[in-house]
Amino acid sequence: MACSLANDVSATRIGHPWPLGASVTQRGVNFSVVAPLATRVELLLFSDGSAREAREVIELDHRHRSGEHWHVEVEGLGLGACYGYRVFGPLLPGSHGFNPSKVLLDPCARAISGWDTYQRGAAVGAVPNASNCLKGVVTDRDRFDFEAAPRPRHSWQKSVIYELHVGGFTRGGGCPVPAERQGTLLGLIDTLPYLQDLGVTAIELLPVMAFDPQDAPAGRLNHWGYSPVSWMAPHPAYLLDPDPLQARQEVRQLVTACHQASLEVILDVVYNHTSEGNQEGPTLSWRGFSDTLYYHQTSRGDYLDVSGCGNTIAANRPLVRRLILESLRCWSTELGIDGFRFDLGIALSRGEELAPLDAPPLFEEMEADPELSDLKVVSEPWDCGGLYRLADFPARRVAGWNGRFRDDLRRFWKGDDRTAWPLSQRLSGNPDLFNGQPAPVGRTINFLTAHDGFTLADLVSFDRKHNLANGENDRDGDNHNNSWNHGVEGPCTDPAVNALRERQLRNLLASLLLAPGVPMLLMGDEVRRSQGGNNNTWCQDNPLGWMHWRPDGDDQALYRFLKRLIRLRQRLAPLLNQDLSPAAGGPAWSLDSATSWREWHGLELGKPDWASWSHCLAWSLHDSEGGPLIWCGMNAYYQPMRFEIPIQLAGWLRVIDTALPGDQAMPARPEPWLAEAAPLESRSLMLLVAAPLLQERSDRRAGSGRKAGGGNRTRIISLEG
């Protein structure tokens, strides 16, 4: 709990400019903040997190200043001490900037208190907000114990990411999380067996850094968390223990459990903007310390915005990027996080006046930092200012969300014209986007759905968004979804419509998991989670935004389909991501760049149809020794089609046929395919795999010895796991 101050007046020393934030010393606590243009700074000490006024105010003058840093050491303080700042300086053009009436949250505070009294509106204008402010809490800076829980370090080649919302995934009827742990980081531990069984290798968490739940329309709360008030502290609503000092430990407990379950943890981080909005917004933290430092502005003081949220962080500036790097180290080295996904990450590559930079200093420093070198880094390659850089993202180690993959797969299976050629590019590693060559493994994150947009079930059930529940008259959310309701808007009882929707779900998932790159899944897509056609549930902390934990028979069939599909992908990973050599002990046959190739087909072998009206496509992977190893046919036409297939001397196994119902679409043990051709039903996909790729050797034994003449025999592996 927050500690009490021992004396009415604390003894102070000059202190040190580093480290930033509040750090425990032998005598007390050292405080350091950046405020380049400030003329005076006050450190406020509170008796506890709920205190409505400071118990002590310590004034910092020129002696406590080193360049842009203000610092002081306060004796007798320790872990749990609550504090804030007031910063004095000139107003800026447009009458914003320094606002000494506001108590400010330390941008480097690793824990926060005061949520029970916090009011967002109190941070607007010139009225004092001491009774309604957030306060920093002095906490530990211990490093994560990687010896006890080492990073799983899954290769990009075999990675499968599962995007989820901590609060939404651990709630809902039938949820396996005990009631008292629902909605929390620790509650997520109870769901790990489910994720392990599904077969994913990493979970990507929507923001868990402290955000402002009050940044939402009247009567609603911010659910997703893309409204940061801190880049260091965990969000309090996700914590089981109300003691701020336990917050970081709960993060470590979750990460430890994930590592022990061989799951990596990737955080969705929001460094492109903050909850402070434009110049009319609240003064919570960054703005009050240095308005012109942290935010891109015009010469008149108006905020420049490519985030869509009122402000844009100036990550090109040294002091700003140092704070971002400090945040990355805080979460990765102190709390054990394995990677980061940058919301609108390309915005961080903009320089002064928002000019795009080919060598943005933030990413250069990230790549040069040895403590950040082993992390998985993902980014959205676009921002709201029109910048879109996927293949030429200005950082070598950053993987980009491939929005083209999402759109082209949706359009093909929807039956749009001019989609066969774009689909071939997505399924061959995006050479049209990467200068004629397939993208290196780990450069593109392939996805069909994400938190922002329709769920997979809604993608095949709605032609348009239905967002009235958000309170913005259906104006929010994307209007361009490439979705298709298959004849009926929303849920229906027509067996034919529902059967076609189920087939399309299998088509889409199979296309995603068979493509080169790193696949990402959205929580609940494996059990047909629906949001009722809402494609922007950012303020829906209710069943609309929660996981679907009561699957029916069809839901469970889709879950098994995806589970087997993931295991198939892991088995064939060296074939599907071909620029890495197969691991020892893998399949007997494999592809490498010297002896392998991909061939495109149509209804006839070697004759793909790239016409604008074409809705059929097939492809095969070949090896100079094993011949054709994989053949896949895709029929998005409304009529059945008969495809020629290549000869495989060792025999084909039919692994997937999405036209078949339930578990027949992908049986646990594939059956031989003896026909000389492949008849595909309308809007279906079939996958054939050379039998040796899915066989394993087993010994026939009698008792403790080998049966005479028994030798070894082969059998088809089970994809059930």
**Which residues are identified as catalytic?**
343, 380
Cα gap 414→448, rounded to integer Å: 13
Closest CA to 600 of 627, 619, 622, 575: 619
228 class by beta-carbon count within 10 Å (0-12 exposed, 13-18 middle, 19+ buried) = buried
Q: How far apart are CA 367 and CA 199, in angstroms?
A: 30
Q: What letter represents residue 547's amino acid? A: M
Query: Which residues partner with 136 through β-bridges?
Result: 83, 112
**CA dist., res. 553 & res. 502, Å (int):** 12
Q: Is 388 exposed, middle or buried (0-12, 13-18, 19+ CB in 10 A)?
A: middle
If you ran DSSP here, which 8-state letter would residue 392 be given? T
Output Rg (C-alpha) for the chain, integer angstroms.
Answer: 28
Q: Please, are residues 277 and 212 in contact by the beta-carbon 8 Å criterion?
A: no
Question: Among candidates 427, 363, 424, which has minimal Cα distance to 398?
Answer: 363
- H or E stretch including 45? strand 40-46
Count CA atoms within 13 Å of residue 466 on its CB side. 15
Alpha carbon separation from 143 to 149, 240, 371, 677 (Å, rounded): 12, 22, 12, 59
Nearest to 505 by CA among 428, 646, 409, 384: 409
611: amino acid identity, one letter: A
Give the Cα-Cα-Cα angle 281, 285, 291 (nearest 5 degrees): 70
Give the length of the chain. Answer: 721
Sign for the CA dihedral angle at 35, 39, 45, 46 comes to negative
Instruction: Determine contact, residues 49/244, Cβ cutoff 8 Å.
Output: yes
Return the SS3 of 715: strand
Type of residue at 660: L
Give the span between the Cα atoms of 336 and 339, in whole angstroms: 9
Q: 408 and 423 in contact (C-beta within 8 Å)?
A: yes
Give CA–CA dist 41/66, Å, rounded. Answer: 13
How is residue 370 written in tokens? 């040895």
**Bond prior to 19 in cis (omega within 30° of 0):** yes
C-alpha 455/C-alpha 410 separation (Å) is: 12
Q: Which residue has the tokens 């955080």?
A: 267
Three-class SS state of 28:
strand
DSSP string, 552-590: -HHHHHHHHHHHHHHHHHHHTHHHHSTTSPPPTT--SS-
In 3D, which of 236, 250, 285, 239 has the Cα closest to residue 108?
285
| CA pair distance 72, 76, nearest whole angstrom | 13
Distance of alpha carbon 276 from alpha carbon 278, whole angstroms: 7
